[in-house]
């Protein structure tokens, strides 16, 4: 997982809670990297899982909710750093329909070692966009937060539902987005 994801996470924790909580999380997790992330470095994604679980233990929010919260914040910083992926889209469906074939393709060019999920996209009717998420990292909740924030960015008015694609977490999740 790219270091920028970690630095964004720790910055969000610092802004939402405190610098002291950042230190506490890093110390309690016994991270192989020592918690010293650079945005261009690459780290084991399990360090993010440890940090999320540690924040969950301190805030009382389930890990899934923490990851979803982080996804919403991460969207803001990704959109700020890469406005070209947001600008020019009329609505959230237009942007999200290109997540696999456009956005993450460009991300792969910028960061050849990025660990990206796979999204299968379909548009069953004009009101509905379906995103099937699969990733060995099982960050469905992160995707959920990113999708929620993308919808909000374009003014809301879309209902987002997440259901598992199979019996295990590794099977992924289906996001069904319906225009309200
Ligand atoms: C401005 C637009 C976006 C940019 C620049 C971007 C870029 C990135 C980058 C750099 C990573 C980290 C790769 C790594 O850790 O090695 C990533 C991961 C990820 N992205 Fe995007 N992304 C964007 C929008 C989105 C949106 C809208 C979604 C949801 C539909 C999404 C879903 C994910 C997920 C879930 C991951 C975590 C990796 C995994 O699940 O395996 N991204 N993205």
The tens digit of pLDDT for each residue in 92-104 reads 999 999 999 999 9
- Which CATH number covers residue 146? 3.90.1520.10
149 lines ligand 1 (CB under 6 A): no
The one-character DSSP state at 169 is G
Please indicate, yes or no, if residue 70 is contained in any of the structural domains. Answer: no
115 lines ligand 1 (CB under 6 A): yes
Residues 54 and 90 in one domain: no
pLDDT value, residue 173: 98
Query: How high does pLDDT run on average in the chain?
Result: 96
135 lines ligand 1 (CB under 6 A): yes
Please indicate, yes or no, if residue 80 is contained in any of the structural domains. Answer: no
Q: Tell me the percentage of the chain whose pLDDT exceeds 90.
A: 98
Residues 114 and 164 in one domain: yes
C-alpha span between 12 and 97 (Å, rounded): 27
5 lines ligand 1 (CB under 6 A): yes
Please indicate, yes or no, if residue 76 is contained in any of the structural domains. Answer: no
72 lines ligand 1 (CB under 6 A): no
Please indicate, yes or no, if residue 75 is contained in any of the structural domains. Answer: no
Please indicate, yes or no, if residue 123 is contained in any of the structural domains. Answer: yes
Residues 93 and 173 in one domain: yes
C-alpha span between 24 and 18 (Å, rounded): 10
Last residue of a domain, which of 60, 77, 104? 60
Coil vs helix vs strand at 163: strand
Residues 53 and 109 in one domain: no
Q: Cα of 149 to ligand 1 centre, how many Å?
A: 13
Pick the residue whose CA is nearest to atom 16 on ligand 1: 114
Last residue of a domain, which of 60, 75, 104? 60
pLDDT value, residue 69: 98
Domain residues for the domain of 147 are 86-179
Residues 154 and 109 in one domain: yes
Residues 111 and 152 in one domain: yes
Residues 96 and 39 in one domain: no
Residues 97 and 145 in one domain: yes
Of all atoms in ligand 1, which is nearest to the CA of residue 95? 27
Q: Which helix (H) or strand (E) holds 38?
A: none
Please indicate, yes or no, if residue 40 is contained in any of the structural domains. Answer: yes
Task: Report pLDDT digits (tens) over 105-160.
Answer: 999 999 999 999 999 999 999 999 999 999 999 999 999 999 999 999 999 999 99
Strands laid side by side in the 118-125 sheet:
118-125, 128-134, 173-179, 158-164
Pick the residue whose CA is nearest to atom 35 on ligand 1: 143
Q: Cα of 74 to ligand 1 centre, how many Å?
A: 9
Task: Report pLDDT digits (tens) over 24-35.
Answer: 999 999 999 999
**Mean pLDDT across 7-20:** 97
C-alpha span between 2 and 112 (Å, rounded): 10
Q: Tell me the percentage of the chain whose pLDDT exceeds 70.
A: 100
Please indicate, yes or no, if residue 30 is contained in any of the structural domains. Answer: yes
Residues 175 and 91 in one domain: yes
39 pLDDT band (50/70/90 cuts)?
A: confident
Flag whether pLDDT at 42 surpasses 90. yes
Please indicate, yes or no, if residue 128 is contained in any of the structural domains. Answer: yes
Total of domains in the chain: 2
Residues 42 and 96 in one domain: no
Last residue of a domain, which of 60, 75, 106? 60
């Amino acid at each position: 997982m790219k270091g920028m994801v970690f630095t964004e996470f720790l910055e969000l924790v610092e802004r939402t809670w405190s610098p002291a909580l950042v230190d506490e999380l890093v110390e309690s997790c016994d991270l192989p990297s020592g918690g010293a992330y650079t945005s261009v470095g690459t780290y084991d994604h399990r360090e993010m899982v440890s940090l999320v679980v540690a924040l969950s233990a301190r805030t009382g929010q389930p890990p899934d909710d923490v990851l979803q919260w982080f996804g919403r914040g991460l969207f803001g910083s990704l959109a700020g750093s890469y406005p070209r992926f947001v600008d020019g889209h009329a609505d959230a469906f237009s942007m999200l329909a290109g997540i696999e074939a456009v956005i993450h393709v460009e991300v792969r060019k910028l960061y050849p070692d990025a660990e990206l999920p796979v999204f299968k996209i379909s548009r069953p009717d004009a009101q509905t966009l379906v995103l099937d998420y699969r990733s060995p990292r099982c960050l469905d909740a992160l995707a959920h937060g990113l999708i929620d924030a993308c919808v909000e960015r374009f003014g809301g008015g879309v209902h987002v539902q997440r259901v598992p694609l199979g019996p295990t977490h590794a099977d992924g999740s289906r996001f069904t987005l319906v225009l309200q």
